[in-house]
Amino acid sequence: MDVLKTLDFISYIVGGALAAAWGALSFWRARREKDGSLLFYLLCGFYACIFMSDIYYLLAWTVEDYPFLLSPGDLSWVGALAFLITIALDLTDGWTPEQRKAAGRYRLPALAAPAVCIAFNIAYISIYPDILFNYLLYAVPTVILSYFALWLFLAEYKGGALPGLQPYHLAVLVWIVVQLFYDLFSTLGWDYGYAVPFVICSWLLTLTTAGVYFAAKKGVDA
């Protein structure tokens, strides 16, 4: 149990350090962008939120040990989701009427993503109903983001005429899926969630968070 707890603790340190590095890279890239794109500024905000969330949890474990009412670390995670939703809205903002029409066909299939998210959320809440309010605060933006990520992925993958940011949308989808499993494994009855699948998801989350920047960079450069 101690080994798993230590591994989880280390994943927060590594995750925080990586988020700080990718946040700095995003800011540097945003300053270099000539077309005035918001994408990398918003990605910088996303990584700043992830970084602060990790730091808050680490400090809360190290410095204080009282229970949480509403952890500001969770709030920061919600902020990270809101930054990704803003990116999705920003990407659809510049579409022509033709592009909008082409993408509109994939709105219905994209509802599959929120359906999966809601199923996970129902499973989570049925196991762990005590923090319903906290979880809803986090679940609502996850559902919205999953819809946008799948819709934009399908529209750009099959729509052809749209800008090619498929790697970024795919990375966001993977990040959401890992998060859903992370939350579910944290509540499956193990003592404080420190079980092998939970710790694996914790490390996967760290890696997929880093992957979002590279996917965005690859999409923009292409």
Partner 1 sequence: MIYLENIFVCLAIPLIIAACLLKGETRRFTVFFTLGLLACLLSAYINSFIAAVVSDNGYVSLTITQAMAQITPICEEIMKALPIFFFVAEHRHGRDSIVAASLAVGLGFATFENCFYIMEYGSSDFLFALTRGFTAGVVHASCAAILGYGLALTCRRGRLAVPCAFALLCATSTFHAIYNLLVAAEDAWRAVGYIMPVITAVAVMIGMTNAKLKIKD
Q: Binding residue for partner 1 (CB under 8 A) from 2, 3, 35, 126?
A: 35
Give min distance, CB of 20 to partner 1, in A. Answer: 12
The answer to whether 159 contacts partner 1 (rule: CB under 8 A) is no
Site map for partner 1, 86-125, x if CB under 8 A? x--xx--x--------------------------------
Nearest by Cα to 62 from 31, 16, 120: 16
Number of H helices, E strands in the chain: 9, 0
Give min distance, CB of 86 to partner 1, in A. Answer: 5
Q: CA–CA distance from 73 to each of 6, 78, 126, 133, 168 (Å)?
A: 19, 9, 23, 15, 25
> Which amino acid is residue 64, in one-letter code?
E
Q: Binding residue for partner 1 (CB under 8 A) from 2, 3, 66, 108?
A: 66
Phi/psi zone of residue 214: left (φ > 0), alpha (ψ -120 to 50 degrees), beta? alpha
The answer to whether 165 contacts partner 1 (rule: CB under 8 A) is no
Does an H or E element contain 202, and which? helix 196-221
- Within 36-65, the residues that bind partner 1 by CB under 8 A are 36-38, 41-42, 45, 48-49, 52-53, 55-56, 59-60, 62-64
Q: Of the two residues 14 and 90, which places its CB atom closer to partner 1 in the complex?
A: 90
The answer to whether 80 contacts partner 1 (rule: CB under 8 A) is yes
The answer to whether 136 contacts partner 1 (rule: CB under 8 A) is no
Give min distance, CB of 76 to partner 1, in A. Answer: 4
Does an H or E element contain 95, and which? none
Does an H or E element contain 76, and which? helix 72-93
Nearest by Cα to 11 from 198, 213, 216: 198
Going by C-beta distance under 8 Å and a sequence separation of 6 or more, which residues neighbour residue 119?
none
Give min distance, CB of 78 to partner 1, in A. Answer: 5
Q: Give contact residues for partner 1 (rule: CB under 8 A).
A: 27, 31, 35-38, 41-42, 45, 48-49, 52-53, 55-56, 59-60, 62-64, 66-73, 75-76, 78-80, 82-83, 85-86, 89-90, 93, 130
